[in-house]
Amino acid sequence: MYFSQVKVVRTKPGKNNSIPTNSKSCSDKLLSKEILSLLNAVTIQFFCPKKFYIDAIILPEPQIVAPAIKRAFYSRVNMLHNKKWEGGYSFKPFCVYPTTLDFCHKRSYIRTKPCPLSLVIINTYEQVLCRGIKQGAKYFSKNSHSMICKYEMLKASLLNVCQYSDLKKNGLIAEQRKQVKQDLRNVLSGWECNGGNNFSLERSTV
């Protein structure tokens, strides 16, 4: 009933650390990728964001409302369109293409349970995940991490940090990214920090 209201954001279902009425909407998250790129706090340490922006998204033609698309992904950050930040950040809007093709995995009236399994293949290494963790492992155990989770990515990076929060707060790259985020928050407003995710790495002393 409130979908027609602008800047009214609800708490995301299942997001236990989100603050009521202040969590980011799906369009906010996509818009942020037009400025922050697809890189995260770990991968930004190795790649310049210039080549990691979304080129296009495809939406069902009957659901596209041109003025709403323009506002969601373009006009509401018009003051940032020509801004250039240090570190290679800039506003790079993606194209929105319509399609009349039927999506084979769309929701239907027939209640079917989605398969909880997924297969991750990187080069010659394969890993089966069940609901986001290694199949057969217990939740929250040391062996439950998938090879593409933030913990394993940070562990494999060999960066000289012990906590994930250190990577997001310290250093020139982190400062550059924080400035871009702050400028984006100032324009959109209503975003509240939820404390974020943090974890410590278990470093071997051998």
Domain boundaries, the chain: 1-102
Torsion of CA 106, 110, 115, 121, to 10 degrees: -20
149: pLDDT strictly greater than 90: no
Res 194: pLDDT: 63
In angstroms, the CA 55 to CA 14 distance is: 29
- pLDDT tens digits, residue range 50-72? 999 999 999 999 889 999 999 99
What backbone torsions phi and psi does residue 181 show, to the nearest 5 degrees?
-60, -40
Q: Lowest mean pLDDT: which of 78-82, 116-120, 161-165, 176-180?
A: 161-165
Three-state SS sequence of 120-166: EEECCEEEEEECCEECCCCCCCHHHCCCCCHHHHHHHHCCCCCEHHH
**Residue that wins the pLDDT comparison between 145 and 23:** 145
- pLDDT tens digits, residue range 117-130? 899 998 888 999 99
**Residue that wins the pLDDT comparison between 126 and 195:** 126
Strand 125-130 with 117-122, pairing: antiparallel
